[in-house]
Amino acid sequence: MDDYPLLNIFLTTMWFFLWILWFMLLFRVFGDLFRDDTVNGWGKAGWCVLLIILPFLGVFIYLIARGKGMGMREMTRAKEAEAEFRTYVRDAAGAQAKPASAAEELARLAELKRDGSITEEEYLRAKALVLGGG
């Protein structure tokens, strides 16, 4: 352990995390590029060539040229995803919480009474509620 001092361990760890950070940034740029519908195929191909041949310079140019749009596109995608999720939840909850008609409620009450799950008095009270509109 004397051959590798503590400072070198810290520096190695720092370089390792910077390397991981670099790849995360590179993948984020590629992801944004391919999700953006405003850039045509030739534009995407040009950016890819630049990002592959000169990765550091390409990422920095991309961030300078299109960085503000990256955030706006990400916010738009997040809002759309949230709206789709809310619509799905609303539809799923609405399908299960569909109010039953009075006839369906009376049939269900009659079946519960026939099964012995509710007494005659409970049946009459529930029937009065259904027919009374409450």
Look up residue 36 and give its DSSP letter.
-
- The residue ranges of every structural domain in the chain are 6-98, 99-134
Structure tokens at 119: 């007494």
- Distance CA(91)–CA(102), nearest Å, equals 23
- How many other C-beta atoms are found inside a 10 Å radius of the C-beta of residue 29? 21
Which has more pLDDT, 100 or 26?
26
pLDDT at 4: 81
Helix (H, G, I), strand (E, B) or coil at 106: helix
pLDDT tens-digit map of 3-47: 888 888 999 999 999 999 999 999 999 999 999 989 999 999 999
Q: Are 63 and 30 in contact (CB under 8 A)?
A: no
Closest of 32, 31, 40, 22 to residue 67, by C-alpha:
32
